[in-house]
Structure 1
Amino acid sequence: MRVVLTGGGTGGHIYPALAIGREVEARQPGSSLLYIGTSRGLESRIVPEQGIAFEDVTITGFRRSLSWENVRTVMRFVQGVRRSKQLLRKFKPDVVVGTGGYVCGPVVYAASRLGIPTLIHEQNVIPGLTNKFLSRYVDGVAVSFSESVGLFEKCPDVEFAGNPCATRVLKADRNKGFSSLGLASGTPFVLVVGGSGGAKAINQAIEQTLPMLHKMTDTHFVFVTGERFFKETEAAIHRLNPEASKRVHVLPYIHNMPEVLAAATLFVGRAGASFLAEVTSLGLPSILIPSPNVTNNHQEANARSLADAGAAIMILERELTGELLFRHMSAIMGDAVRRDSMSRASRGMGMPKAAAAIYDQIVRIQRKR
């Protein structure tokens, strides 16, 4: 099978696309993949590192207020469609799969105009602007949350499939996660992640918890700060008393995140869709602090879905303090019965076969064509 993948801007769009591509390769050995993204997005670095062919188009997003920049965006969209058609005619894909982000727009739209089977995947409860636009042109939509199904009424084939990142994390070796952190296998630890770039609010709350961490005597902590916040957080941890600091690990970034997630006892972080797919696939309890700086406040909707099911505690950023965060971490880590209950609820929401379900949907829309 020849497949074009597209989606970009953030890891939340890129990693699901890569997971779908890997599933295609596993189910149909010898398949060819081409990823179309932007030269300025994270995909331009991440995709070539995965050994997948990469081409770029130029596109920007619409502003939500009246602006001349939106006129330029329309012009870039038209140019992007033209460039996408050239790439598609050259590669001759059997299907084009989009996972959101502005670059997805011209590529998937161009494919639909050329009569190529198309599918989009929506990671969040509330659909993004690009996917809502594309839903009237594509052959299929796969969604990560059941609440999203009714929001794509203009597409004839909408499936509640889950997030394909859930499939990837189940293959991770948790023992490698422990060893990469220098921990003995089975060591209980809290993993705190503010996203790939870090989150200042979360890092500040963590710094406020440092004087209290000695009370959690049997727990280790892994703080992933983001590159830009690493030095200041590391300096704050060095001010801890020596005994407590032995149980605190501060890192700017984790390159083997699936393995570390598989080893963690409790996850604390943002409510990005890919992280939540991995967390629920593993059955991890979580404390979620949704970012307020995302389109349609979709992370709060994501987090509330888990909180309502009993799989997570949600703390809004405006209410976040070190004391509140410590109280929740301490309560969960100190209560094995509660952790087990949250874990069961989390696993009950997980969809570890998401990538396979999306592959089956791809095959289905191909046959309909």
Structure 2
Amino acid sequence: MRIVVSGGGTGGHIYPALALIREIQKQSADTEFLYIGTLNGLESTIVPREKIPFKSIYITGFQRKLSFENIKTVYRFFKGVRDSKKILKEFGPDIVIGTGGYVCGPVVYAAAKLGIPTIIHEQNSVPGLTNKFLSRYVNKIAVCFDEAKDYFPADKIVFTGNPRASEVMGQDGIRGRLSAGLSTTKPVVLIFGGSRGARPINDAVVKSLSELGEKPYQVLYITGDVHFEAVKNEVELVGNPKNVVIKPFIHNMPEVLAGVDLVVSRAGATTLAEITSLGIPSILVPSPYVTNNHQEKNAKSLSNHGAATLLLEKELNSKSLVQHIDRILLNKQTLEAMKIKAKELGVPDSATKLHELMKQLVK
């Protein structure tokens, strides 16, 4: 099978695509892939590093207010469609899948117009403009949250979950702890704000360091590369407790996640797929700066089922952060109940489900 994958802009669109590719490669080593993205997105560096063939088109996203720039975007879209058709004809894919981001617009649309089977994968509970547009043209729509079904044609929807969930399964949590400099015997809470970090979460953690230093659990605190130096300077003033490990970034997140007991994070779709597949309780601080406030809706899909605690950014401070961590991590009954609820929401075989859907469309 020859597969074209398109998705870009943020890690939330790219990493599920890569997880799907890796899983298909395990199951069908002779499958050929081509990834189509943009040169100004993260995919232009991440995908080639994975040794996956990569081609680019030029496209920008629509602005949500009246702007002359949107007229240029319409022109870029149609040029992107022409460029995509050329690339698709040269590669000859059996199927095309878009995992999100505006680059998918011209690529998947071009594939549909060429009569190539198409799928879009919607990771969030509220879809973005691109997937709403493409839903009219594609053959199937793979979703990760039941809440997303209301936005798409019912006859096209298939619940698959997020392929990233498959990658965290079977990891060695002990090795993950050791790689992060953690004890293998004490409970661990992992705190992070996404790949780039989140200043409000960083501020709350720094102000609670002295209190966290007195706790019987460990803290693995990931600041994000762009915030690390500023956090490091603040920590030097207040001191770094022995049970708090601070890092700018970790590259083996699946392995580390397998070794933690509680997660404090934003509510990005990929993160939620990972923690539910592992059955990890969470305290979710959704970003209020995302389209359609979709992270809060993502978070509620877990908190409404007892798998997570929703902590709005406006309610986040050092006191509320520590109180919520203590309430879960120091109460065995609460912790175990949340683990069960989180596990019930997980879809660990999501990559396989998506692969099966692709094979059905190619037949």
Match of 1:308 in 2: 304
Instruction: Sort the Cα spacing of 1:323 and 1:140 in 2 relative to 1 into closer, same or farther, 3 A.
Output: same
The amino acid that maps onto 1:144 is C
Secondary structure of 1:239 counterpart: helix
User: Sequence identity, in percent?
Assistant: 50
Q: Does 1:112 align with 2:112?
A: yes
Aligned residues between the structures: 363
What is the CA deviation profile of residues 74-106 of structure 1, one whole-angstrom value per residue up to 9, with x for unaligned ones?
A: 000011111111111111111101011000100
1:250-287 per-residue CA deviation (whole Å, 9 max, x = no partner) reads: 11111001111111111001000000000000000100
Paired residue type of 1:21: I
**Paired position in structure 2 for 1:135:** 135
Which moved further from structure 2: 181-190 or 283-292?
Answer: 181-190
Q: Matches of residues 50-69 of structure 1 in structure 2 within 5 Å?
A: 50-69=50-69
1:346 aligned to 337, 342, 346, which one?
342
2:33 is aligned with 1:27: no
Question: Residue type matched to 2:41 in 1?
Answer: G
State the TM-score, normalized to the length of structure 1.
Answer: 0.96
Question: Deviation at 1:232?
Answer: 2.0
Q: Secondary structure at the match of 2:54?
A: strand
Kindly provide the amino acid, as one letter, of the partner of residue 131 in structure 1. Answer: N
Show the counterpart of 2:224. Answer: 226
Q: 2:164·2:273 contact (CA, 8 Å) conserved in 1?
A: yes
How far 1:211 sits from its partner (Å)?
Answer: 2.4
The equivalent residue for 1:361 is 357
Q: Is this contact kept in 2: 1:36–1:56, CA < 8 A?
A: yes
Contact 1:238/1:245 (8 A) holds in 2: no
Contact 1:191 1:222 in 2 (8 A): yes
- C-alpha displacement of 1:186: 4.0
Which residue of the partner structure matches residue 184 of structure 1? 183
Question: AA paired with 1:172?
Answer: Q
Cα offset for 1:290? 0.2
Structure-1 separation of matches of 2:188 and 2:230: 22
Deviation at 1:5, TM superposition (A): 0.5
8 Å contact from structure 2 (residues 182, 245) kept in 1: no
Could you give the per-residue CA deviations for residues 110-156 of structure 1, whole angstroms, max 9, x where no partner exists?
Answer: 10111111101000001111001001100111000112223211x64
For structure 2, the 5+ residue unaligned runs are: none
8 Å CA contact 2:213, 2:243 repeated in 1: no
Q: Which amino acid aligns with 1:59?
A: I
1:65 Cα deviation from its structure 2 partner:
1.0
Q: CA 1:94/1:186 → structure 2, altered by over 3 Å: closer, same or farther? A: farther
1:294 to 290, 303, 307: 290
RMSD between aligned alpha carbons?
Answer: 1.2
How far has the Cα of 1:235 moved from its partner?
2.6
How far is the alpha carbon of 1:352 from its aligned partner? Answer: 0.4
Q: Distance in 2 between matches of 1:124 and 1:200?
A: 23
Structure-1 residue corresponding to 2:280:
284
**8 Å contact from structure 1 (residues 98, 108) kept in 2:** yes
Instruction: Please report how far the alpha carbon of residue 184 of structure 1 lies from its aligned counterpart in structure 2 after TM superposition.
Output: 3.3
Instruction: Report how far residue 239 of structure 1 moved.
Output: 3.4
